[in-house]
Structure 1
Amino acid sequence: MTGGPVRSAPRFPRHPWTVFLGRRAARLAVSLGVVLTASFAMVRLVPGDPVRAALGIDASPALVAARRHQLGLDQPFPSQYRHYLDGLLHGDLGTSLVTGTPVAELVRTRLPATLQIALLAFLVTLAVALPGGLLAAVHTRDGRHPRTELAFTAVTAGLAGVPDFVLAAGLTALLAVGLRLLPVAGTAGAGSLVLPVVALSLAPTAVLVRIVRVEALKVLAEDYMRTARGKRLSPARRYLRHAAPNMAAASLTVAGSLLPAMIAGTVLVEKVFAWPGIGSAMAQSVVAQDYPVVQAMVLILGTTVLLAGLLVDVLLALLDPRTAIREM
């Protein structure tokens, strides 16, 4: 009796976590290469002369030509790209055409401010959406309180569809200008964090709380939850010990997908609130055609988004190790 070819076992068994992390690292490297190339190319495809914009319209052609030669902008595109990559390998992000400040110094001073409001907004989203969605599911399960469910759906759908900059402008007009409860802009104490963080977190919270409610309704309908109710366990034990852990993985998966969008959303929110972060610096540099700053900020924001996605993938795999096993 003959059979098909027998596949020999691998000489060195692959550990699921090794495969998982290796594939994630390879995906990150490819994505970083795409972001790096795109950040370099996009600013050079925009019409206009950044050197002329920086020196002013009265600058002589000889001065403009000398500045372009100094920056290497008169070289072919491949040569500029090689010079750019070589600078990155040595930690050189270039120099601002407008201020003459090293871009690396600008990133060092502004990136913490962007991460501060983005991470705070993410934590606020989790702190509100996870318990909020569970409470909404408990209150409306099995068709209970249909009016509450309708109001919940309408409000969250409305908030989820409003852009960040519209929320930022509305919050400023209401809480800062109208009621004068909070600073309009700047970094004047802890109160100045409230409006940017709320503007960044409101729409993602509305999205996530809807997902959490749907996942919680599925969990509450499971047999083990009926058993827990039949044993007359306390509500806190039923929901916190049995329901919350079983809906955590799916909810955190959605939350992780929202984090990169929140980081990218800081660009407009920082501009509205004059927050001294990466986003506001990039917006100012686009107007001034300060190409080295723009490409560095795009690269930093893109890298931050990719690293945040990788971190979320690893955390989800820690919560559910089957994710790593499926990579085999």
Structure 2
Amino acid sequence: MTSIAISKPALGENAWLRFAVRRGGRLLVSVWVLLTAAFGMIHLIPGDPVRAALGPTASAQVVGARRAALGLDDPLWQQYFHYLGNLFSGKLGVSMSSGLPVSQIISERLPATLEIAVYSFLLALAVAIPVGAGMAVLTRGGRHRHAELAFTSASVVLAAIPEFLIAVGLVFVFGVTLGWAPVAGRTGPESYLLPVLALALGPAAVLARIVRVEMLTVLRADYIRTARAKRLPARLVYLRHALPNALTATLTLGGLLLSALVAGTVLVENVFAWPGLGSTIVQSILAKDYPVVQGIVLVYGLGVLLVNLAVDVALALLDPRSTIRES
């Protein structure tokens, strides 16, 4: 008897092209909305940023001259197109407090923020994937109920605590009480420990729960039963067959958590006096330095959009049929 293998047709180039066009179109619309919202921020926030920058003792003539130099007396539509033109030419404006270009301020502070965000994300993955998968193997089939209850309770509590409260607790315990790590500044490798932990603990707890649920679903699948029936080593069943199929949802949520991590740096940086964008934007808001606030908001927004795009592309590569057809 001759067996005939029927393979599913591969996705053609047209499907990938449509996927790229749709994703690119959504990205452009999202970027336009972000730019428009950042522009409107200066006009919606109460108060006069020029008066705030020059101080209450500045004369009306000086304030008026400064407003004219910044183009704030022009019609709103003219300011909008001037703003877009400057952005496309790489100009983000000048800080009202320091007089430095906003692009220079962002380029000096961005690396510090990216470092703790990326390190926290990698730490969350490194903890969540083995812990979640291990708990799924340990508690599958209703076994070890006490371990399941302890894991669920701990993960829920950690996920519910805001990052800045975790940061304050870490400062008190490991910085002030035990003196194991510095509590302020970016002074060396040891100064990364507490900020990274403060950002990573909550996302690690969420991801570990997702990994466990997805792993339990995969372990009940027919192909896992088949692999066990072939008496494959347990390590091979779990690592080669089960774990890769359980990570699709984890990748999706992981991308969203990376976006949240970047936003979470705002509060954590202020707890640890970390010289990044988070502490800079808070200082700029207090000083009403709106060009700097505007530029940092753009950076955060573009970062979130690019992370979401990267997640969509990664999912399309891992599971092209369902992802491209649903998009």
Q: When the two structures are superposed, what TM-score results if normalisation uses the length of structure 2? A: 0.93
Asked if 1:271 corresponds to 2:270, the answer is yes
Asked if 1:283 corresponds to 2:282, the answer is yes
Q: Is the 8 A contact 2:127 2:204 kept in 1?
A: yes
| Paired residue type of 2:279 | S
Asked if 1:320 corresponds to 2:313, the answer is no
Deviations 1:155-212 (A, max 9, x none): 0000111111111111111111111111101111111111111111111111111011
Q: Is the 8 A contact 1:19 1:327 kept in 2?
A: no
Greater displacement, 93-102 / 258-267: 258-267
Q: Is the 8 A contact 2:110 2:276 kept in 1?
A: yes
Q: Is the 8 A contact 1:43 1:294 kept in 2?
A: no
Question: 2:7: which partner in 1?
Answer: none
| Paired residue type of 2:185 | G
TM alignment of 1:121-140, pairs within 5 A: 121-140=120-139
Question: 2:188: which partner in 1?
Answer: 189
Q: Is the 8 A contact 2:315 2:323 kept in 1?
A: no
Greater displacement, 292-301 / 243-252: 243-252
Shift of 1:132: 1.0
Question: 1:142: which partner in 2?
Answer: 141
Shift of 1:31: 0.4
TM alignment of 1:93-108, pairs within 5 A: 93-108=92-107
Q: Is the 8 A contact 1:93 1:104 kept in 2?
A: yes
SS of match in other structure, 1:148: helix
Question: 1:16: which partner in 2?
Answer: 15
Deviations 1:7-64 (A, max 9, x none): xxxxxx8622111111111101100111111111123211111111111111111111
In the aligned structure 2, how far is the partner of 1:196 from the partner of 1:73? 39
SS of match in other structure, 1:74: coil
In the aligned structure 1, how far is the partner of 2:318 from the partner of 2:295? 35
In the aligned structure 1, how far is the partner of 2:17 from the partner of 2:175? 51
TM alignment of 1:150-229, pairs within 5 A: 150-229=149-228
Deviations 1:110-138 (A, max 9, x none): 11211111111111111111111100001
SS of match in other structure, 1:326: helix
Shift of 1:232: 3.1
In the aligned structure 2, how far is the partner of 1:243 from the partner of 1:126? 17
Question: 1:69: which partner in 2?
Answer: 68
Shift of 1:228: 2.6
In the aligned structure 2, how far is the partner of 1:164 from the partner of 1:44? 31
Question: 1:238: which partner in 2?
Answer: 237
**What is the count of residue pairs matched by the alignment?**
316
Deviations 1:210-256 (A, max 9, x none): 01100111111122222333333222111101111111212211212
Q: Is the 8 A contact 2:316 2:324 kept in 1?
A: no
Greater displacement, 108-117 / 219-228: 219-228
| Paired residue type of 2:167 | A
Question: 1:5: which partner in 2?
Answer: none
Question: 2:51: which partner in 1?
Answer: 52
In the aligned structure 1, how far is the partner of 2:233 from the partner of 2:137? 14
In the aligned structure 2, how far is the partner of 1:293 from the partner of 1:119? 23
In the aligned structure 2, how far is the partner of 1:19 from the partner of 1:197? 39
Shift of 1:82: 1.5
SS of match in other structure, 1:91: coil
In the aligned structure 1, how far is the partner of 2:312 from the partner of 2:263? 19
Q: Is the 8 A contact 1:16 1:327 kept in 2?
A: no
Asked if 1:28 corresponds to 2:27, the answer is yes
Q: Is the 8 A contact 1:16 1:324 kept in 2?
A: no
C-alpha RMSD of matched pairs (Å): 1.4
* Structure 1 gap segments, 5+ residues each: 1-12
Q: Is the 8 A contact 1:175 1:181 kept in 2?
A: yes
| Paired residue type of 1:111 | L
* Structure 2 gap segments, 5+ residues each: 1-11
Q: Is the 8 A contact 1:20 1:327 kept in 2?
A: no
When residues 325 and 86 of structure 1 are mapped into structure 2, their CA distance, relative to the original with a 3 A threshold, is: closer
| Paired residue type of 1:139 | L
